[in-house]
Every structure is written in C-alpha cells, then in structure tokens.
Amino acid sequence: MTSASRTRSKSSQASLFDDASATPLDATAQPQTSKAADSPPTLEAQFAALPPAWRTHLNPFIESDAYAPLCRFVDGERAAGKTVYPADVFRALRLTSPDEVKVVIIGQDPYHGEDRGTPQAHGLAFSVAPNVRTPPSLRNIFKEIAASLGHEPPRHGCLDTWAKQGVLLLNTVLTVERDSAASHAKRGWEKCTDTLIHELAMRHDGLVFMLWGAHAQAKRALLGGKSHYVLEAPHPSPLSAHRGFLGCGHFVSANEYLVKHGREPIDWRLPDEAQMLA
C-alpha cells in the first residue's frame, strides 16, 4: 500500500490558489501558463491568507520592521517583469498544519529553473511539480530511502503525500528569481523562516528535525533547547552526499522515534503517479 492509499485526515487548507475542480492534480496536469505565472497574488495577500494557526506562529515577524520591506521587494520584482518562483509561496504551510507536524526537513531556497516548460519549484523544499524530472539531490534522498527501507525509487519527485502526513518541507528562503539561484537571499525571508522554526520548536514537543548541510544545521540554535530529535548529515547534493548523507539512516531513525513517542510513522513511499494535494 502506498501513501496515496492512506485516509486523509484533513482536507487541504483554503487559499487564494484553490480550485476545487483541479484538486488533486495528477501527473498529466498541464504546465502553468505564462499569464498565470505572471500574476500571482501579492505577497502581503498571501501572508493574509495563511491559515490562522500559522499566522500565530509568524506574528512576531509580521509585526516586525522586516515584514513590509520583504513584501515590497518580492512584489517589486514581479512588477518589474521578473519571473519569481513559486507563485504559491506558502504552499508547504497549507499542506501541513502546525499541530500535524511530525518531521521538519529544512532546505535553502526554491529551485530556480524549469523542466520542459514547467517550473521545478512548487512550494515544498526538495519537491518538484508533476511532470518535472527528479533533481539530483532528491534522487539521492530516494536512494537513501531505498537502501535503508527497501522501497523502490519513485517515478516522480512530488512530495505532497509526505507533507499531508506531517512532514514540513521548509526552505529558509521562500522565493527566487528564475535562473538566478539565491537571488532572494538576505532580503528578509531568513528572518521570517527563523521565526517560524523557532515558534514551531517552542510551541510543540517531540518533533524530528532533519538538518542536512551547514546551512540547515545553523538553524539548530533556533530550537531553544526543547526536547526534539535532531538528525544531522551532509547535504544530499551530489557534491556532498557521499560524505555521510548516503547511509545516514535518517528516515528509519525518524520513524523509530515517532513510534517510540506514540505517533504514526511516516510512509516514505510515494504514489505511483504524482499528486498535488493543494
């Protein structure tokens, strides 16, 4: 039984992007049109549309001096005619509510490219949209899962079913300009996601944090010494995966910890066909 066959505990959070007739989407979904990609809601509107529980976690940032400049920057880049990915900035937060989070996997910034006309990024760290070929780092993640759990690598890289089970796939920078890696770094996103990570760690107990690479591991200080299970390894990039990511056993260890603390383990398998669930 794949994770697609699990009973969904809750429907997707409502958002400015909802289209009831199109959820879930399968791997035959058409790429975004340039018109849709060019006119997403403003960043301020997307903050306003966040589920209330996540807004509570992010209130310290929203009320800070860093909030307005970040919104002006991202919206200004789009107004200047630049393509910014992803259109749905907070999709990871709509797929996984704070009280349902079991595992947090921290990435850096969204994929900045396209694959045969479809943007790679779709709002979840490491995940790619249906019809997009699996990137190298994600292939290494699947390789580690296959080696430690015996699951065959999936045919796609859409991780929505992980998110619906309580895996928060969070980049520390949530937008990027097309074909320009790290172009939105140091513009305010780090303060936003640092706030989110800290508030999540302080308000909840017994979470698993997977910190891969120095960038993610620097976020350990945000956990405030709370009783969480922190797993560290090199980044799954082909440049570093052989230094200890492959063979790290994190996916097995996470599930053992969850079971020990009375929580359902994550089914790390993916359905045969990609499904976008929000």
Catalytic positions, written as ranges: 109
Q: How many other C-beta atoms lie within 10 A of the C-beta of residue 182? A: 12
Nearby residues of 19 by Cβ (< 8 Å), 6 or more positions away: none
Amino acid at 140: N
- Please state the separation of Cα 62 from the chain's center in Å: 20
Cα–chain center distance at 77: 22
What distance in Å separates the CA atoms of residue 71 and residue 74, rounded to the nearest whole number? 5
Contacts of residues 51-55 at CB distance under 8 Å and 24 or more positions apart, as own/partner, are 51/13, 51/93, 51/94, 51/97, 53/97, 53/98, 53/99, 54/90, 54/93, 54/97, 54/98, 54/196
Joined tokens for residue 6:
């699990």
Nearest to 175 by CA among 37, 83, 271: 83
Question: Would you state the structure tokens that stand for residue 218, as one six-digit string?
Answer: 């620097």
Please give the Cα distance from 51 to 55 (Å, whole number): 6
Buried b (16+ CB within 10 A) or exposed e, 116-138: eebbbbbbbbbbbbbbbebbebb
> Which pair of tokens denotes residue 83?
């393509």
